Amino acid sequence: MDGLTTRELLELMHVEDRNGIESVHAALEQIAKAVDQVAERLRSGGRLHYFGAGTSGRLAVLDAAECPATFGVAADLVQAHAAGDGEAEDDFGLGVRDAKHAGLSSLDAVIGVSASGRTAYVLAAVGEAREAGALVVGLSCAPGTPLGAAAAIAIEVDVGSEVIAGSTRLKAGTAQKVALNMISTGVFMRLGHTYRGRMVGVVTSNDKLRRRAGRMVRELTGCSSEMVETALRDAGGSAKVAILMLRFGIDADDARNRLSGASGDLAVALGERARR
């Protein structure tokens, strides 16, 4: 590899990244099980917790951080607990303490994220999760791991060797990011936090997102820009509430009550789907 040109090296890395993404395909059945069962826990009032260390922990933090802004869910609904690098990855006691501090219950779902499937911090945390009765999902990048054995649902994405041996921030990191994207997005789609492929739960915290919300409401109601702008203002920026206001000709309070009665599922509030 040292004899490759820079362009050849990048081509190799690109091919291996594509192989890493493709390897996720073999795990789709397990990922689907995780999505359905995590969604059921959250529907019953539970929370989703990630536990990871090193790169895996940072990817978990990233995924958890994106959920409130993307889907409009509470900031504490998806929580990531990351041990960092170095000796923290091997700190079994830290995993136990972090899991206990999280206050896990039988309503919760826990996803342990570890490329090797052998990280002591993660194994300790999922052990505590099992004791608490939480659903345990293991996401690793190797077959037959201790994490998979400890999990009710084992997602083992076998990515093969890395371009730089042992550097799991490469293919393994790519595959984990893809799998985490699928899990969180699938869960919140199942829970009705999207509608017709749109981010109707988006938090309108800046001009870009306010424009996006306005465009979504116009597309989904067929109303004029002026009507949409007024509805969004009265709805406090909530696209879901604005859509209900315009579709049913009701005020913001009635729309919020209708949405609350549907557990935030816009399709249910619109009468397009029965409550799950």
Nearest to 64 by CA among 177, 194, 142, 173: 177
- Look at residue 210 in the predicted model and tell me its pLDDT: 92
Structural element, H or E, at residue 52 = strand 48-52
Single out the catalytic residue among 22, 29, 66, 87. Answer: 66
Strand blocks (E) in 92-243: 109-113, 135-140, 153-156
Q: Does domain 207-269 have CATH number 1.10.8.1080?
A: yes
> Is 66 part of the annotated catalytic residue set?
yes
- Count Cβ atoms below 10 Å from residue 12 Cβ, excluding itself: 13
* Sequential pLDDT tens for the chain (276 residues): 788 999 999 999 999 999 899 999 999 999 999 999 999 999 999 999 999 999 999 999 999 999 998 898 999 999 999 998 889 889 999 999 999 999 999 999 999 999 999 999 999 999 999 999 999 999 999 999 999 999 999 999 999 887 787 777 888 999 999 999 999 999 999 998 999 999 898 888 899 999 999 999 999 999 999 999 999 999 999 999 999 999 999 999 999 999 999 988 999 999 997 676
Query: Residues 84, 51: contact at Cβ < 8 Å?
Result: no
Residue pointed to by tokens 């829970």: 191
> Is 8 part of the annotated catalytic residue set?
no
The three-class DSSP label of residue 195 is: strand
The three-class DSSP label of residue 80 is: strand
Task: Give the DSSP letter of residue 250.
Answer: -
The three-class DSSP label of residue 170 is: coil
Write the CA distances from 266 to 18, 53, 221, 255, integer angstroms: 36, 36, 13, 10
- Count Cβ atoms below 10 Å from residue 221 Cβ, excluding itself: 17
Task: Give the DSSP letter of residue 86.
Answer: G
Single out the catalytic residue among 89, 128, 156, 162. Answer: 89
Domain boundary assignment for the chain? 6-190, 207-269
Q: Does domain 6-190 have CATH number 3.40.50.10490?
A: yes
Handedness of CA 65, 69, 74, 77 (dihedral sign): negative
